[in-house]
Amino acid sequence: MKIQTKITWLFTAITASILLFLSGFVYFFASRNAFEDFYKRLEIRAIIAAKAKLGQDRTHVNAYNEIRREHLEKLPSEKEYFFTVNEKAGKPDSAHISGVPASFFNRVMVEKEAMHRTKNLFYLGVLYEQPGSNHIVVVSAVNEFSREYLGSLKNVMLVGFLVSVLVMLTVGILFSRQILKPVRSITHRVKDISSNNLHLRLPETGGKDEIGELSYTFNNMLDRLETSFESQNNFVSNASHELSTPLTAIIGEAELALSKKRDEQAYTQSLRVVLNEAERLRHITTSLLSLAQTGFDGKKQQWEVLRADELVWAVKQSVDNINPGNHVYFDTSHLPEEERKLTTRGNMQMLILAFSNVVLNACKYSDNKPVTIGVASTDDRVLIIVRDMGIGIPENELPYIFDPFFRASNVGHYKGYGIGLPLSRNIIRMHDGDIVVKSKAGEGCIIHISLPIHVS
């Protein structure tokens, strides 16, 4: 069953239940008031009947009889019963009415008034007290008015209930259709998205509702998929380009060595060239493996809460081991005073690898000029800023620096494979972080890396 149908039926069922409850509530109190009103009419008739028949003042008796004839409407099947109370026995002699229990007369004696109903036949009894003798006066009648009134009320309520349910069903269909209109729009849009047009995105309203969050989340997923597809599409050509150079050198050197007999020194030189190119090939494949393992699959191994300042010191030690002649300095001028603004959560070794790649690049492309690493923070992010005074990156090439195997046009004599920054970015993304590079050719680089502050 579709969600739209479920919403419609649920909306209708809830509304119908409320209407049914309200109808029952109204019918109950309407019938109760109708019965009370009829009992009141019977009470008036019982008192007038007692005065007219049992009254001792004939003037009053005649007046009551006149009221009965001229002003009291005869009720359907109206009957009057008079019973004399035996003072010694404390109850009326031979008090009996078919269908009326003896307890009715006992209640009249105790409460001086009692009511009884058998289906639509109503009885009301009163105790009429006179000096020297007491009587029980009972008036009965069929409550045709209440029956007709309640019957009409029931029919009106039934018709109103059915009409209301139909209206609510129609409103529910329109309401659910309008509510789910963005979902249908998303569904149609998603059907148009395939591997050939991953650039398409869902429209974002900017609202904070669930539909807006769904569109935002889906677009983020498409961003990651598009980047992943682009990386995969470019991988073969880029890898072929990088791998072909050492392979060509190895094959060429081997063919040269086998072309004719040579002395031992020449063979040794050829083997040394082959070994160097093989080492280069191994380094490339190892880097590619690391890059693949830190793709967009979100692998997280042994994550822990760590401090950004401790991470920076660990990066400095790693850089010292690889490049002992570096001039890397820790800038503490913007170090947060609150300890919580230094904490983040992640895998220490992977973050050291990511930051080491960035710092080593800064050292390499600045010819070991001073490089500073600073730590700062915002309300929800911890920031690591790396500054160098190197050759910089041409502004028009900045959009491509995170593409695997890309190398800027001004790095000609510097060794490298164009894998370090993509690897660092993948690791930082795995930690829900961001990396931004600002640079101009000949003016060095400023690299901003942000990671989410850990909330305990």
Three-state DSSP class for residue 125: strand
pLDDT for the residue numbered 452: 94
Give the whole-angstrom CA distance, residue 407 versus residue 403.
9
Same-domain pairing of 218 and 353:
no
Is residue 177 situated within a structural domain?
Answer: no
Question: Nearest to residue 83, comparing CAs of 56, 59, 104, 57?
Answer: 104
Same domain, residue pair 428 and 327:
yes
**CATH number of the CATH domain containing 243:** 1.10.287.130
Q: Is residue 392 part of a domain?
A: yes
From residue 43, how far is each of 57, 113, 128, 205, 267 by CA, in Å? 21, 9, 12, 70, 133
Residue with token string 């160098």: 388
Question: Does residue 394 belong to any structural domain of this protein?
Answer: yes
The H or E element that residue 373 is part of is: strand 371-377
Question: 238 with 334, same domain?
Answer: no
From first to last of its 456 residues, the chain has per-residue pLDDT tens of: 777 788 888 888 898 999 999 999 998 998 888 888 888 888 888 887 787 777 655 555 566 666 666 666 677 888 888 888 877 666 776 777 887 888 888 888 888 889 888 888 899 999 888 777 888 888 888 888 878 888 888 899 999 899 988 998 888 888 888 888 878 888 888 888 877 777 777 777 666 777 778 888 888 888 877 766 766 665 665 566 667 777 888 888 888 888 888 888 888 888 888 888 887 777 667 766 666 666 545 454 578 999 999 999 999 998 998 888 899 999 999 999 888 899 999 988 889 888 998 999 999 999 999 999 999 999 899 999 999 999 999 999 898 888 877 888 888 788 877 778 888 898 898 888 999 999 998 899 999 999 999 887
Q: What angle do CA 426, 427, 433 make, to 5 degrees?
A: 90
How far apart are the C-alpha atoms of 36 and 11, rounded to whole Å? 38
Helix (H, G, I), strand (E, B) or coil at 324: coil
Q: How high is the pLDDT of residue 288?
A: 66
Residue 179 lies in a domain: no
Domain assignment present for residue 168? The answer is no
Burial class of 435 by CB neighbour count within 10 A (0 to 12, 13 to 18, 19+): buried
Tell me: do 319 and 397 sit in the same domain: yes
At 63 the pLDDT is 63
Q: Are residues 314 and 441 in the same domain?
A: yes
Name the phi and psi angles at 198, rounded to 5.
-70, -5
* 434 shares a domain with 310: yes
Residues 380 and 353 in one domain: yes
287 & 382 share domain:
no
Report the candidate in 122, 128, 90, 88 with the shortest Cα–Cα distance to residue 106: 90
Q: Check whether residue 33 and residue 88 sit in a common domain.
A: yes
What does pTM read for this prediction? 0.47
- For residue 274, report the phi and psi dihedrals to the nearest 5 degrees: -60, -45
Closest CA to 111 of 96, 123, 127, 130: 127
Q: What is the CATH number of the domain that holds 31?
A: 3.30.450
Helix (H) or strand (E) holding 255: helix 210-258
Compute the distance between CA of residue 449 and CA of residue 338 in angstroms, rounded to an integer: 19
Of 108, 123, 153, the position where a domain reaches its end is: 153
Q: How many CB atoms lie within 10 A of CB 440?
A: 12
Tokens for 139, please give them.
């008036």
**Same domain as 254, residue 343:** no
* C-alpha dihedral (213, 219, 221, 223), degrees to nearest 10: -150
| Burial readout 247-257 (b: 16 or more C-beta within 10 A, e: otherwise) | eebbeebeeeb
Number of structural domains (the chain) is 3
**CATH number of the domain where residue 332 is located:** 3.30.565.10
Confidence at residue 382, expressed as pLDDT on a 0 to 100 scale:
95
Is the CB of residue 356 less than 8 Å from the CB of residue 315? yes
pLDDT for 296 = 45
Is 354 among the domain residues? yes
Q: Is 248 found in the same domain as 311?
A: no
Tell me which of 265, 293, 321 is where a domain ends: 293
Same domain, yes or no: 316 and 414: yes
**Residue 183 resides in a domain:** no
Sequence-distant (6+) residues with CB within 8 A of 320 are 326, 328
Q: Which of 153, 177, 197 is the last residue of a domain?
A: 153
Domain contains 265: yes
* Structural domain boundaries enclosing 25: 3-153
